[in-house]
Structure formats: C-alpha cells, structure tokens
Structure 1
Amino acid sequence: MTAALCHHDPDLAKVVKEFGVPPLWKRPQGFRTLLYLILEQQVSLASARATYERLVAKLGSDPEPEPFLCLSDDDLRGLGFSRQKSRYCQLLAEAVADGSLPLGKLGRYDDEAAKAEMMKITGIGHWTADVYLMEALGRPDVWPVGDLALAVGVEKVKNLKARPTADELQALGEQWRPYRAVAARILWLYYLNVIRPPAGGKPT
C-alpha cells in the first residue's frame, strides 16, 4: 500500500525515501485503548501515558470496565484524570459493561457504522473514533481530519500557503483513497521527524 501511494504521489515518496516506511502504529482492540485515547485528547502524549500508567498501577492490570467503575471520582482525580475525562471514561466503561457499545463486534462493521457506534458515547468524537479504527481495527482508508499533526504534515509536505481546515483536509485526502490511513501514517512520520524532532511517540 505504501509503494502504491508513493508511485502516484512524489511528495509522499520523498518522505518515505528520507525517513523510511512508517511504523504500523497498532493498539489492542477493546476498552483500554478507547480509554487511553480519551486520555490523549488535547494533552501531550507524556501526560496521557503517565495518567494511564498510574491507573494500571492502581488497578494492578490494564483497565477493564468493571474494575474501573469501582474507582471513585476522588480516586480518578488522584490519578490525574480531569473531571471531564473521568466522566467520559465512566460513561465508556458503563456502555461496554452493559453491552450498549459492542466493542467486540465493531470489527464486523464497516468504517462508518463502527464510528457511529463509538460516537454514541459522550466523549468519543471523530478523532478518537478514527484513531481507534486505524490503530485497533487496522482499517486502511480512515482519514482523521481532526488531527493537528496530520493537518500540519499535509500543509508542509504539499507546500500549502496555510494549514488546511477540516473541510479542506477532507477534500485533500480524497487523492489517497483507498489508502488514506497509510497516507496519514506517512504524514505523521514527517511531522515526528521534521516538525517535532526529537519527540518520540505518536501525534496527539
């Protein structure tokens, strides 16, 4: 898929030639990944990781819905959860526990249906659902237009005069169908190596 994109897009080909094929950033399917993605919203990767690691230490394992729901608001605040993210993660845990969010079945749904199921939960927006589709379900044609690093990457790699809006980014992504998620990884790779060097990890 990377080779096919690079064959048709010399700008992406330059990125791959300089920095290599992007890693297949992958996360496990399930509650813990969606919770982690909520923690990553609007904060640094380091901050989200620290909060998640404190949660794992508190629970003694990666979080599952029922044990997570046993934690009080004070417990979560002490671990670094904001009030808003505490509520979002509690709502997610309740939905997974009672089956109203059928996480185990999302792999059978098409992209839009799976995304719609996730976005029924308060606190899960386009970015969170898109990244889950890309990295947990391995969908090849997801295009997370709400991702700042992606917008900056497109701006620089395509030598645009300004950072594209979400609508503009959506339109620009059409040229990379049906492998937009692969294009996104190439653009993230550029961002991580050029825009934000020496920081490791993935864009927020």
Structure 2
Amino acid sequence: MNKIVNENDLKILLEKDKILSGIHEQYGVPPNWQRKPGFVTLCQIILEQQVSLESARAHFLKLNDFLGEFTPEKILTLSDDEMRNSFISRQKANYLRELSEAVVSGKLNLEEIHNSEEKEIREQLTSIKGIGNWTADIYLLFCLQHKNIFPIGDIAVIHSMKELYQISSKEEILEISESWQPFRSLATYFMWHYYLKKRGRIAIY
C-alpha cells in the first residue's frame, strides 16, 4: 500500500505551498496516520461523526467490551436498550445496523473494496445510510491511504485552513485544496498536524 506521507510527494508539495512549508519548518513532517481497513474501523468512524474523538473512543470501547467479538452479526443481535447502555445514540445505533446488514448481505464487501477506484469506493460506502462524504473521506484517507482526498466536512481541517490562509468562504477553501492536487491527502495531514501541535494535543484514533 502506498503511504500518504512520503519523501517525493513531500518535496513537491512543500515547493508548491509556502504555508505548508512553514508548518513543516515549525512542527516537522506529519505522522503517516493509518488505521486498519475493515468493518470495525468503519464503525469507529461512524461513531466519530459530530463528536469529539475522545467521546467516540469511549463509546466504541464500551460497545466493544459488551460485544466481546466486534462483528456485524453481533451488532445485529443488540437491542435498543443494549445499544443505549453502551452509550450508542439511537441514530448511530441505526447506522451501525445499516452497515452490519450491508456487510452480512454482501452488499458491501470491505475486504475487496480497496481494489476499486475512488469514485466507486465512495459510491459503495455512501450508499449505506449513515455514511456520508466525511466518513467516506476518512476511510479513504486513514484506511486505504488514497493520495488525493480532501475532507471538506472536517472541522479541524477547515478551521486550520481559515486560520492559516486568512480565508472564510467555502469557495476559497476549495480553491486552495485544488492547488494541492494530486497530494491533497498529504496537505490534509499537514492541516491536522498543525491543528494538534498548536493545541498541544495528541491524535486519538
């Protein structure tokens, strides 16, 4: 699997963008964040929607402890009360069930999806209720290490861009992201790297 953070891509991108070069000088190279592809990680990403990573991690661990074995079949056996006792909201419980049904039925094959093109992967993922573009972006970035992904729905990335580039509109954000092609994933990692380092925080994933 190709890595998002690599020496050749880094050299080209830093020559293209002085802001990214400044982050590099101040904080160094971002980690090559990776997560194991598959059902468990995709469930974790769903739980991370619109909450802090710390909260999502706590909820995942609670659910994982209750299940014993984190499989789609096990998810489908849980009642609403059991989900609630594991701190899973009604909405996210439904999303986890939708994903589990898709995996069990064969509608979504997470073991083979990495062989597809980005567009097809995105279409397959977002066809599942509860998986939108942000969730698909995060899976493509962390799990599949696609090199040209820009998660327009990520709050930390957008906050960093507005601060660093002195911009405010969605159009300006997209324009800058276009200038990062074909290494938008690496630039995104720089945005997260800056966001965390400036706040003295450590990535939780």
TM-score by length of structure 1 reads 0.92
Q: What is the alpha-carbon distance in structure 2 between the residues aligned to residue 168 and residue 86 of structure 1?
A: 36
Counterpart selection for 2:62 from 33, 50, 54: 54
**1:188 and 1:202 in contact (8 A); partners too:** no
1:105 aligns with 2:92: no
Greater displacement, 185-194 / 113-122: 185-194
**Count of residue pairs brought into register by the alignment:** 197
Distance 1:78 1:109, change over 3 A: same
TM-score, scaled to structure 2: 0.91
- Report 1:1-204 matches (<5 A): 1-61=9-69, 63-160=70-167, 162=168, 164-165=169-170, 167-194=171-198, 197-201=199-203
Contact 2:53–2:204 (Cα < 8 Å) also in 1: yes
Structure 2 unaligned regions, length at least 5: 1-8
One-letter amino acid of the counterpart of residue 145, structure 1: I
TM-superposition CA deviations, 1:82-134 (whole Å, max 9, x none): 00000000000110111101212211111111001000001000000000001
**Whole-angstrom distance in 1 between the partners of 2:107 and 2:94:** 17
- Identity percentage of aligned residues: 37
CA distance in 1, matches of 2:61, 2:204: 17
Secondary structure of the residue aligned to 1:103 is coil
Asked if the contact 1:12–1:157 (Cα under 8 Å) also holds between the matched residues in 2, the reply is no
Q: Is the 8 A contact 1:176 1:183 kept in 2?
A: yes
User: In angstroms, what is the RMSD of aligned CA positions?
Assistant: 1.4
Query: What's the CA shift for 1:198?
Result: 2.9
